[in-house]
Amino acid sequence: FFNSATALAGNPSASAPRAPMLQAGARLASSFSAAGAALDGALADLDQSADAMADQLNTLTTSLAKVNSALGRVSQGTSSQAALLDERDRLLESMSALTDVSASFDASGRATVKAGGGGPLLVQGDQAAVATYARGPNGSVSFAVYGIDGSHALSPGGGAMAGIAEGAARIADARDALNQIAVSFANGVNAVQAGGQDLDGHAGAAMFSATGASDFKLVLDDPRGIAAAAPGGGERNNGNLTALATLRKDGKFEGSLTTLTTDNASALAARRSVAEVQSTIRSNAAAARDSITGVNVDEEAVGLIRFQQAYQASSRVIQVARETLDAIFNIR
Average pLDDT, the chain: 80
Q: Does the pLDDT of residue 308 top 90, yes or no? A: no
* CB neighbourhood size of 146 (10 A): 14
- The confidence score (pLDDT) of residue 273 equals 62
User: Is this structure's pTM higher than 0.85?
Assistant: no
71-80: long-range pairs with CB below 8 Å, 24+: 71/108, 71/109, 71/110, 72/108, 72/110, 72/125, 72/126, 76/108
Query: What is the C-alpha separation between 92 and 67, in angstroms, rounded?
Result: 11
Q: pLDDT tens digit string along 104-121? A: 999 999 999 999 767 899
Name the strand (E) or helix (H) holding 24: helix 18-71
Query: What is the C-alpha separation between 220 and 216, in angstroms, rounded?
Result: 13
Residues of the chain above pLDDT 70, percent: 74
Residue 279 CA from chain centroid, whole number:
22
Q: pLDDT tens digit string along 197-208? A: 998 889 999 999
- The confidence score (pLDDT) of residue 168 equals 82
Query: What's the pLDDT band for 248 if we cut at 50, 70, 90?
Result: confident
Question: Which residue type is seen at 138?
Answer: N
- The confidence score (pLDDT) of residue 12 equals 47
Residues of the chain above pLDDT 90, percent: 33
Across the range 288-292, mean pLDDT stands at 57
- The confidence score (pLDDT) of residue 292 equals 52
Query: What's the pLDDT band for 307 if we cut at 50, 70, 90?
Result: very low
Query: What's the pLDDT band for 293 if we cut at 50, 70, 90?
Result: very low
Question: By three-state DSSP, how is residue 10 classified?
Answer: coil
Task: Please give the sequence-ordered ranges of beta strands (E in DSSP) within 10-126, or none if there are none.
Answer: 101-105, 111-115, 121-124
Query: What's the pLDDT band for 191 if we cut at 50, 70, 90?
Result: very high
Which DSSP letter does residue 225 get?
A: G
Decide which of 302 and 138 is more confident: 138
Decide which of 245 and 275 is more confident: 245
Query: What's the pLDDT band for 277 if we cut at 50, 70, 90?
Result: low
Across the range 207-216, mean pLDDT stands at 93
Across the range 268-277, mean pLDDT stands at 62
Torsion angle of C-alpha atoms 100, 104, 108, 110, degrees rounded to 10: -30
Query: What is the C-alpha separation between 190 and 29, in angstroms, rounded?
Result: 14
Across the range 37-54, mean pLDDT stands at 87
* Range with the poorest average pLDDT among 150-154, 213-217, 232-236: 232-236
- The confidence score (pLDDT) of residue 130 equals 96
Question: By three-state DSSP, how is residue 102 classified?
Answer: strand
Q: Does the pLDDT of residue 311 top 50, yes or no? A: no
Across the range 280-304, mean pLDDT stands at 55
Q: pLDDT tens digit string along 129-181? A: 999 999 877 777 889 999 898 999 998 888 888 888 888 888 888 888 889 99
